[in-house]
Structure 1
Amino acid sequence: MVVRPQWEWQFEGAAGVVLERPVSPVFTTQFDAEQWLGETWRALAGQGVRAVRLLHEGAQATPTLTLPAA
Structure 2
Amino acid sequence: MVWTWRYEKADGTVVTPDGGQEEFAGQGDAETWIGESWKQLVEDGVDTAVLLDDDRVVYAMSLHEA
Which TM class, normalised by the smaller chain length? 0.7 to 0.9
Q: TM-score, normalized by length of structure 2?
A: 0.85
CA RMSD after TM alignment:
1.4
State whether structure 2 residue 41 is matched by structure 1 residue 28: no
Q: Percent identity?
A: 35
Runs of 4+ residues over 2 Å off in structure 1: none
**Bigger radius of gyration among the two:** 1
CA distance in 2, matches of 1:65, 1:24: 17
Letter in structure 2 aligned against 1:9: W
Which range moved further: 7-16 or 42-51? Answer: 7-16
Q: TM-score, normalized by length of structure 1?
A: 0.81
What is the number of residues matched between the two proteins? 63
1:10, 1:24 within 8 Å by CA — same for their partners in 2? no
Q: Which one has a larger percent strand, Structure 1 or Structure 2?
A: 2
- Structure 1 unaligned blocks of 5 or more: none
* Higher RCO structure (Cα 8 Å, ≥6 apart): 2
CA distance in 1, matches of 2:9, 2:23: 20
